Amino acid sequence: MLLYFVSGLALAQDLKVVTEHLPPYNFIEGGKLTGYSTELLQLILKELQLNPEIQVLPWSRAFQMATERNNVLIYTIARSKERDPNFEWIGPIASRKIVLLKLEQRKDIQINSLWDFQSNPGARSYKIGIVRELASSQKILSDELIPHNQLDAAPTTESNLKKLLLGRVDMIVGDEAGTQYELKNGLKDKTKLSTVAVVDAQIAFYFAIKKGSDPILVLRLKQAFEKIKATNAQTELKQKYELN
Give me the sheet containing 151-154, strands edge to edge: 151-154, 128-131, 171-175, 98-103, 193-200
> What is the arithmetic mean of pLDDT over 16-38?
95
Res. 145 pLDDT band, cuts 50 70 90: confident
The model's pLDDT over 32-81, given as tens digits with 9 standing for 90+, comes to: 999 999 999 999 999 999 999 999 998 989 999 999 999 999 999 999 98
Cα–Cα dist 5/82, whole Å: 37
Residue 11: its pLDDT value, please?
55
Q: Encode pLDDT of 176-222 as tens digits.
A: 988 998 898 888 889 999 999 999 999 999 999 999 999 999 999 99
Q: Where are the domains of the chain?
A: 2-95+204-240, 98-200
Q: Is pLDDT above 50 for 111? A: yes
Q: Which residues have a Cβ under 8 Å from the Cβ of 171 and sit 6 or more positions away?
A: 100, 101, 102, 109, 111, 126, 127, 128, 129, 164, 196
Q: How many other C-beta atoms lie within 10 A of the C-beta of residue 130?
A: 23
CA dihedral of 168, 174, 180, 186, whole degrees rounded to 10: -70
DSSP E strands, the chain: 16-19, 27-29, 32-34, 54-56, 72-78, 87-94, 98-103, 128-131, 151-154, 171-175, 193-200, 205-210
**Do 98-200 and 2-95+204-240 have the same topology in CATH?**
yes
Confidence (pLDDT) at 38: 98
| 98-200 CATH, one of 3.40.50.720, 3.40.190.10, 3.40.720.10, 3.40.390.30 | 3.40.190.10
- Which one is the CATH code of 2-95+204-240: 3.40.190.10, 3.30.70.270, 3.80.30.10, 3.40.50.620? 3.40.190.10
1, pLDDT greater than 80: no
Is 199:175 a contact under the CB 8 Å cutoff? Answer: no
- pLDDT tier for residue 86 given thresholds of 50, 70 and 90: very high
